Amino acid sequence: MKTENILDKIVEQRKKDLERLGPSLGFSIPKTRTRPIVQFLNPSGTILEIKRASPSKGDIAPQLDAVKTAKIYANAGTQAISVLTETHFFKGSLQDLMNVSSEISDCSILRKDFLLKEEEIEISYLCGADAVLLIARILDTETLLRLARKAREFGMTPFIEIRENDDLLKLEEAIQDGDVVAGVNSRDLATFHIDPLIPASFRNSLPCKAVFESGIKTIEDATFAKNLGFEGILVGENVAKKPSFTPQLVKAFNDAKPNREGDFWKALALRREIHREKDPHRPLVKICGITNIEDAVQAAELGADLLGFVFSDSPRQASGDLIQEVRKILNSMELYPLLVGVITNPHSSEGIQAITKAEYGILDAIQFHDCHIPSLLDTSYGHYGAVRVSHSSHLDGVKKYLSQGEPRVLIDARVPNVLGGTGVSIPEHIVKETKEFTPLWLAGGISCENVKEIISNFEPELIDISSALELKPGKKSIEKMNLFFKELHHES
């Protein structure tokens, strides 16, 4: 089965079921509702899911007992429980919803399904749901508004899921009608690819409570979602498979808070989406090794997304006072690239200085270059890691950081006794191998001469360039910078 057709197949199957069985889907539905409405996502918190299977993973927990699992979730302190009621692809049912709602009184209950008709909203209410999922991608604006209004008539909350800009326009119309909670799915329901920067890119555009959906596997993932400013997370597979994990997950999300870590990733994700709207091939660009105001201003004017300042023993080492001056001047020019401190030793005086500047918001982020990356649980400032690679085995370090909740990891060329600015390219097969499991952030050997080829061959999400734009270490060439961005825009 081709993944690109899964969403269409699910919707087509639902239409057939509605035609054959009606909105009750063949189940005996109560005539009245006795369970009081429990307000959805008030207070904020986790939404844990009753989930036996999915189209992408097949069986997840096929023997899952809905009521028993719901009680584990409730005892762990979750604010809400999501009950999947789609039969063919997820092995759920309306019976699960009725069983859970009859036994769970303190948690809000979400009916998660591919709802298409107003009659399904009333059925959801009678079966005990406090909120209903409405997927903007499969509903036209008029239908979405009609279903949301019907949900409110019954005292339920419309939980509107978005993932694309067209979805956002539909959500904005629904918000004008009344209260809603938004969900941003990090999983593309057409391809099932997960990208945590999709929710990050939308968060500041959502004028309502919002939920980070899908891709939450660890307590670091839960923390990251809260760092971004989401009031809720929806977690399915990883709690359904391991219900004992729920107390840790609930605590991690509840204890976390919005911070500069989230601000950095939201800003970066938004820059990515702006580029994609204009040209889907244009990568984010980091100009590294900035040591003076002139180079910083030129790079920003030409369109750099990030400026890198080295806080390490190097001919490209930046002075501590430079960052404030650069920030002040760029702000006055209404130029807002993200300022990144590059460190090779977090315990050195230079590393400590850079981290302090990030903690106070003077730097937007720290690049931990071939040194230990602290956990998301232990930091409040923007950061990411860079791993030097020359062999496939070195990619284990990249995978390790991704598994610990890091949204992205930069790869750079590994050269003995040289930590950066080498001008050496990563072997092509390593670049291709990296791209198979994560969006490509690439440094090493990128120049005016090969940037078009690199973009064409590898489609990197971010490129990091330093020495190829220099007159000498620490001083950029105006001509090379101009040529680089000319080549970049010509390619894109």
Residue 188 is predicted with a pLDDT of 83
* pTM of this prediction exceeds 0.85: yes
Residue 422 is predicted with a pLDDT of 62
What amino acid is encoded at 273 in this protein?
Answer: E
Q: Which string of DSSP letters, residue by residue, matches 340-368?
A: EEEES-TTSHHHHHHHHHHHTTSSSEEEE
Backbone torsions φ then ψ of 138, nearest 5 degrees: -110, 5
Residue 414 is predicted with a pLDDT of 84
Along the 492 residues of the chain, how does pLDDT read in single tens digits? 344 578 899 999 999 999 999 999 999 999 999 999 999 999 999 999 999 999 988 999 999 999 999 999 999 999 999 999 999 999 999 999 999 999 999 999 999 999 999 999 999 999 999 999 999 999 999 999 999 999 999 999 999 999 999 999 999 999 999 999 999 999 887 777 899 999 999 999 999 999 999 999 999 999 999 999 999 999 999 999 999 999 999 999 999 999 999 999 999 999 999 999 998 899 999 999 999 999 999 999 999 999 999 999 899 999 989 999 999 999 999 999 999 999 999 999 999 999 999 999 999 999 999 999 999 899 999 999 999 999 999 999 999 999 999 999 999 998 766 655 567 899 999 999 999 999 999 999 999 999 999 999 999 999 999 999 999 999 999 999 999 999 988 655
Name the one residue in this structure whose structure tokens are 């720290």: 366
Separation of first and last alpha carbons in the chain: 34
Residues 460/440, Cβ–Cβ less than 8 Å: yes
Q: What share of the chain is helix, strand, coil (3-state, %, to 5)?
A: 45, 20, 40
Residue 419 is predicted with a pLDDT of 59
Residue 248 is predicted with a pLDDT of 97
Which is it for strands 53-54 and 58-59: parallel, antiparallel or unpaired? antiparallel
Domains in the chain and their CATH numbers? 3-258 (3.20.20.70), 262-491 (3.20.20.70)
Residue 2 is predicted with a pLDDT of 42
